[in-house]
A = this chain, B = another copy of it.
Amino acid sequence: MTTTHSATSRAVQLTRHAMDSLEVVQLPIETPGAGQVRLAMRAASLNFRDLVMMKGVHGGILPLVPLSDGVGVVEAVGEGVTRVGLGDRVCPIYAPGWWSGDPVAGITGKALGGDTHGVLRDHMLVAEGDVVKVPDHLTDVEAACLPVAGVTAWSALFAYGRLQPGETVLIEGTGGVSLFALSFAKAAGARVVIISSSDEKIERAKAMGADMAVNYKSEPEWGKAVATLTGGVQLVVEVGGAATLAQAVTALAYGGRISQVGLLSGIDAQLPLRLFVPKSASIHAVLVGGRDRFEAMNRAIALHQLRPVVGETFGFGQFTEAYQALIAQQHMGKITIDFAR
């Protein structure tokens, strides 16, 4: 059932921890071993983590095929493969082997595009257990947005957040995770309040379903403003970290939960215990999620025909432009790469 190839195909490689070291190389097209599948990759998307890995902040292998998030079609299967078949359109999962439940120590250390080669290549081998079928109604570029931003939002809301219909969720900003969280929270029957520094982004978020919003530039004490507006929120998708945690605690209702996604700021946060303890509050760190959550998310995406927000799409050769767009953060929605362009 497998095929052999002597041909090579395109891959992008990072050879030093610097953006200008990114280059297109030719890599051999490999034959899947037992339990493996080979994907013909079609699209990829970028996350903030990809900048961190490019800069080598946490090490990582070199040369490295970057990016963790992509989608491809199964074009060859190794011996004994049963979970997927030829022609299935799948995403590799972020952390190979994370199939269910909470993460175990070390599992995200081998995530794609870091210490394991990523998806920015025409063909890749993946263990059959490490892929997830994607909803049919999504374009390739949309499907490529799911693995990190989508699953992280799902974990934040449902695995740790235990969101119930009628509850109010505070979502910070309009980045990749936040827009997914907005979409999922509305599908789950929750009320959503969003904060942003831009009235224009607030309008777009409302068009996507946000019920209420606070502009945190004009309301530096936005935690209080959110509490007043909503009566206190049951859940916060906390992506800001150092700059936002104390305000998030202020916004919480009694018994409120915080899903702590953000660790980007690099600075320690203030945790106002004088509010946190009497509110019987809790905080849980969120680290993407495993295959089971990815599949649960896809089921909801399919049922509700949800679509990720795509900000900009580049061609395979425009990877530098894609990274620059990620840095510039001008657009609302994911930065993506369409391999067909």
A166 on interface, CB distance cutoff 8 Å: yes
Partner of A271, one of B188, B254, B268: B268
Closest-by-CB residue of B relative to A164 is B158
Contact in complex: A277, B270 (CB < 8 Å): no
Partner of A272, one of B162, B262, B268, B272: B268
Contact in complex: A302, B263 (CB < 8 Å): no
A212 on interface, CB distance cutoff 8 Å: no
| Distance A292 CA – B106 CA, assembled complex (angstroms) | 12
* Interface-facing stretch out of A4-12, A21-29, A240-248, A308-316: A240-248
State how many copies of this chain the complex holds. 4
Closest-by-CB residue of B relative to A232 is B105
Partner of A165, one of B187, B242, B253, B284: B187
A236 on interface, CB distance cutoff 8 Å: no
Residue picked from A160, A241, A298, most chain B C-beta under 10 Å? A241
Contact in complex: B166, A241 (CB < 8 Å): no
Contact in complex: B266, A274 (CB < 8 Å): yes
| Distance A97 CA – B127 CA, assembled complex (angstroms) | 11
Contact in complex: B280, A285 (CB < 8 Å): yes
Closest-by-CB residue of B relative to A277 is B263
User: Nearest Cβ in chain B — how far from A96, in angstroms?
Assistant: 9
User: For A281, what are the chain B residues with a Cβ–Cβ distance below 8 Å?
Assistant: 284-285
29 pairs of residues in contact across A and B, judged by CB atoms under 8 Å: A97-B97, A97-B129, A100-B100, A101-B102, A102-B255, A102-B280, A104-B254, A105-B254, A106-B254, A158-B164, A158-B165, A165-B184, A165-B187, A165-B303, A165-B304, A166-B187, A166-B296, A188-B188, A189-B303, A191-B303, A242-B273, A260-B273, A262-B273, A268-B273, A269-B270, A270-B270, A270-B271, A277-B285, A283-B283
